[in-house]
Amino acid sequence: MNSASLRRPHVAAALLGAWAAAIAVIPGVARQAIVAAPAAALAVAWWTLRKPHRWLTLFFCMALLLPPLPIAAGDSGPHPCLAAAALGLFAGALWLPRWRIALNSVSFSLAALLFALLLSVPQAVLRSGFVPAAASLARVALFGIPVYIFFYAAYGPGKDASVSRFVRLLYWFAIVSALFACVDFYYQFPAPAGYGPQFVWLDSGVYRRAQGLFYEASTLGNFCAFFLVMILVALSRPSAESPVSRPGLCAGGAVLLAALVLSYSRASLITVAVAALVLLWINRRRIRFTHILVTFSSALAGAALIWKLFPAFAEMYWVRLSGSAEFLFTATNGVLSGRVESWRTLTSWIAAHPGSILLGIGYKTLPYSDAAGGPIVADNMYLSLLIETGIFGLLALIWFNSAVLRASWKASRSAVAQRSFLGAWMLCFWCGEAIQMFSGDILTYWRVLPVYFWVLAAAVRE
């Protein structure tokens, strides 16, 4: 059969009919699904590539609403959204004439940060061997996904997507994801893949902290904080400028706050607090009592929901917060869950090996190798980048943070309501994020960073 005959409609129909018949006669649903999978994958790919922004919709849907695959690979198993990311690379090449990359501080600093991570991989080979180096390269590639999404949405084919529609879509994806996290905590569903061993000890038993579909509590908390900041910004503005209705914001805020608290993350709560203070400052002349009342009522509803459904947990969480405030300066290491001791160990290692911070020891090799004397979790983005990627990596991160804050501030002062909203959202959140980086490896949250970078792209693009 030649290529000409394949283009004939009746030949194509016959082939499809034969495929369908083969699926029908194969015994077992699992085997039928395997045979039908290529056809379904081709249909999804065809639909996705018809419009430049559709792969982003598919990626965010899969990244936020699907768990990792139950395959023993990496920390939690490969994730289905990687297939959507691969489609995104193909879409970028397919719509190549639409790329118009602007050279500014945000794009330069983000490219420099990615280059610094990649530049450290050879050092991982030299100091830790090929297996940790391969894991390092894989983590650099995962960070490359949000970087690519930023450029695609800001300067590529994705810039034509409807911003307000996309924000609403992301918001409701976030609500569904946070709601699942609450239900998962209540019923303690068995994780289908690897998860972070993060638990809460109550009198009634030991419970896995709310991790949702991310299977890591800090990622869930950070993700919820991002959309809680969005709600705060939206409530501070006229309802016409909000991408979501007031009832939707209040209901969603209660769910997001509940998921944040159940994640047991104090750092993400501080991120929201810092963002709220920044928001009060930039709106100090136009904030109204009704805005504060609605925000407080939504937060109170979320707290009441947690207290009603999880009274023992709510009491434990309050004790944890009050104890953290009380003993912050007298028992700092205990309050910060042993982070101070880890920081002392790492700073002592830097003092003993000052030459190592010139090129670093390899991105994300600290927890998985003996390059620094033994496996250790830094829980500090600035300190870990200094050791793993050298001075260049740390300076690139500081430059990127500064560029994001400057660009977001400029966007927040725009006369265009939509751009002003997105700029204020990113400005408030990234102020908190820059502080949270002192206690967490934010750059490893590769499944939620694409959401943050997409909003950043929508805010800074012309």
Using one digit for the tens of pLDDT, what is the confidence trace for 95-108? 999 999 888 999 99
What is the extent of the structural domain holding 23? 3-50
Q: How far apart are CA 415 and CA 19, in angstroms?
A: 57
∠ CA 24-29-31, rounded to 5°: 80
Are the beta carbons of 394 and 382 closer than 8 angstroms?
yes
358-407: per-residue pLDDT in tens? 889 999 999 888 877 778 888 899 999 999 999 999 999 999 999 999 99
What average pLDDT score do residues 139-156 get?
Answer: 96
Q: In this structure, are 113 and 257 located in the same domain? A: yes
Q: How far apart are CA 231 and CA 302, in angstroms?
A: 13
Q: In this structure, are 39 and 177 located in the same domain? A: no
Residue 13 in domain: yes
Q: How far is CA 306 from CA 15, 103, 314, in A?
A: 56, 47, 6
User: Is pLDDT of 416 > 50?
Assistant: yes
Which residues neighbour 163 within 8 Å (Cβ) at sequence distance 6 or greater? 418, 422, 458
Tokens standing for residue 433? 């994020």
Determine the 3-state secondary structure of 360 from DSSP: coil
Q: How far apart are CA 287 and CA 292, in angstroms?
A: 8
- Return the beta strands (E) in 253-310 as ranges: none
Number of domains composing the chain: 2
Q: How far apart are CA 366 and CA 371, in angstroms?
A: 7
Q: How far apart are CA 448 and CA 227, in angstroms?
A: 11
Tell me which residue has tokens 């209901």.
251
Residue 66 in domain: no
Which residues neighbour 248 within 8 Å (Cβ) at sequence distance 6 or greater? 171
Residue 392 in domain: yes
Q: In this structure, are 379 and 430 located in the same domain? A: yes
283-315: per-residue pLDDT in tens? 876 666 565 666 666 667 767 777 776 777 777
Q: How far apart are CA 332 and CA 32, in angstroms?
A: 58
pTM (2 decimals)? Answer: 0.89
Tell me which residue has tokens 């369908």.
20
Residue 74 in domain: no
Task: Please count the CA atoms within 13 angstroms of the CA of 194 that sit on its side-chain side.
Answer: 10
Q: How far is CA 71 from CA 80, 143, 376, in A?
A: 11, 21, 26
Q: Which value, to the nearest 10 degrees, does the dihedral of the CA atoms of residues 292, 167, 114, 389 take?
A: 30
Rg of the Cα atoms in the chain: 24
Q: How far apart are CA 376 and CA 343, in angstroms?
A: 10
Q: In this structure, are 156 and 38 located in the same domain? A: no
Residue 390 in domain: yes
Q: How far is CA 447 from CA 164, 317, 451, in A?
A: 21, 26, 8
Which residues neighbour 256 within 8 Å (Cβ) at sequence distance 6 or greater? 174, 175, 178, 224, 227, 228, 231, 302
Q: In this structure, are 234 and 338 located in the same domain? A: yes
Which residues neighbour 75 within 8 Å (Cβ) at sequence distance 6 or greater? 194
Q: How far apart are CA 210 and CA 261, in angstroms?
A: 9
Tell me which residue has tokens 């699907």.
66
65-90: per-residue pLDDT in tens? 998 887 766 667 789 999 999 999 99
210-252: per-residue pLDDT in tens? 999 998 899 999 999 999 999 999 988 888 889 999 899 988 9
Q: Give the residue with greater pLDDT, 9 vs 334.
A: 334
160-218: per-residue pLDDT in tens? 778 999 999 999 999 999 999 999 988 888 876 678 788 888 777 788 899 999 988 99
Predicted pLDDT of residue 194: 73
Q: How far apart are CA 181 and CA 140, in angstroms?
A: 28
Residue 408 in domain: yes
Q: In this structure, are 125 and 8 located in the same domain? A: no
What would you measure as the largest C-alpha separation in the chain, in angstroms? 81
Q: In this structure, are 11 and 94 located in the same domain? A: no
Q: In this structure, are 17 and 125 located in the same domain? A: no
Q: In this structure, are 162 and 264 located in the same domain? A: yes
Residue 276 in domain: yes
Predicted pLDDT of residue 2: 44
Q: In this structure, are 20 and 104 located in the same domain? A: no
Q: In this structure, are 39 and 108 located in the same domain? A: no
Mean pLDDT taken over the chain: 85
Q: In this structure, are 377 and 286 located in the same domain? A: yes
Are the beta carbons of 161 and 169 closer than 8 angstroms?
no
What average pLDDT score do residues 56-60 get?
Answer: 95
Tokens standing for residue 270? 């501080």
Residue 86 in domain: yes
